[in-house]
Chains A and B, each alone.
Chain A
Amino acid sequence: MKVFHYINFLIIFLFLIAICIVEEMLVSSALENVQNYCFEIENYISDKQSLKENQIVLMVDNLEFDWTKDESKLCYLVNHISIKELSYEISHLKAYISNDDIVEFKAALDAIVMYCHSYLHFMGANVHNIL
């Protein structure tokens, strides 16, 4: 019986380690993915005067699709409220395309990159977060 007792604790201990690793991997891969999309879009529109292009719509759609997919996974691990701003900003991108508002579009992209950066900072395990 004592062996089972030890095994129980070992299983819990391993489960905790596994959860930490999975969280770290999921969070960083999802946010880095969003950041990469944003950089790619920023590069693409850097010399454009208008947003009325299928390629831009496609890139934003891909960004939204991938983020929605990752967000549903992240919801198991992180607080919904912590990541909702990212979803808001991504949905704003589509509105700016239909209004052809390139200034607001770029600002929204910057905001997304900034959110990703700050989330990566406060979601990971580091001394600042612990203290």
Chain B
Amino acid sequence: MLTIIVRSILIYCIVLLVFRLMGKRQIGQMQPFELVLTLIIADLATIPMADISIPVLHGIIPLLTLVVLHFVLTIITRLSIKLSSFLSGKPVILINPKGIDYKAMKKLNMTIDDIFACLRDKGYFSVAQVQYAIVETSGKISVMPKAEFAPATCQDLDLKPDESFVPITLVCEGKILKDNMALARLQETEVAEIVKKEMNSKIKDVLVLTIEKSGRGYIQLKKDKGKSFQTKRLGSV
């Protein structure tokens, strides 16, 4: 039993390493060749885990071979457009200004219900609202609405808002995130002051504390409700 446990841990670490080396794409964003590799890897990993007569190297070697193969295929797809479209396919226009392309629909083996489901997922409940719908090589559908159904942008309204920035998390479950502190150009004492001023508490009691460039922040204690606050604007982030 101990052998199986140790083997499982070892193979888990190797598979984790393999996926880290392969990149950060999610299942839905995978190209066909990446999906094939993922399925094979999942199957390969289980064989030496359960059968102790098989050397663990018999599981690791194919995994590493697939990593190298994936790396080579990625390079080839970058270098050759033709091979890239052969391996990953091409995006297909499913809906154009004339309506649904029946030929494309059949080629993709999709039904009208599938198309409607995808459109609803994107927030459009009628084909009449859609100018173009494109099935990407990953299988996802990108939708471009007709101009009258497109959401209004600041440009349309002639507005010039401030650039928005991702809020920086400074404290997470009572722990200060030092990298983010450096990013926000704040000192620990300044954060402690904010916590004391806003919640009359200490950093160790904070569940989460985030701050934006504008100085607007959000703080919540582990045993209390959260609240927004405004402090001085941050330096260049």
Contact = CB atoms under 8 A, between A and B. Distances in A.
Contacts of B65: 16
Interface of B: 21, 53-55, 57-58, 61, 64-65, 67-68, 71
Contact of A77 (B55, B64, B67, B68): B55
Q: Is the interface of A mostly helix, strand, loop or mixed?
A: helix
Contact of A79 (B55, B61, B68, B71): B55
A9 B71 contact: yes
B57 A13 contact: no
Those 3 A-B pairs whose CB atoms lie nearest each other, nearest first: A80-B53, A9-B71, A12-B64
A50 interface: no
Contact of B55 (A8, A16, A78): A78
A81 interface: yes
B164 to A, nearest CB: 28
Q: Is the interface of B mostly helix, strand, loop or mixed?
A: helix
Given A8-B21, A79-B58, A15 B64 contact: yes
A8 B64 CA distance: 11
Contacts, number: 31
Interface of A: 8-9, 12-13, 15-16, 19, 75-81
Contacts of B55: 75-80
Contacts of A13: 68
B57 A9 contact: no
11 contacts: A8-B21, A9-B71, A12-B21, A16-B61, A19-B57, A76-B55, A76-B57, A78-B55, A79-B53, A79-B55, A80-B54
Nearest to B23: A5
B68 A12 contact: yes
Nearest to B71: A9
B88 to A, nearest CB: 20
Contacts of A16: 61, 64-65, 68
Nearest to A13: B68
Nearest to B18: A12
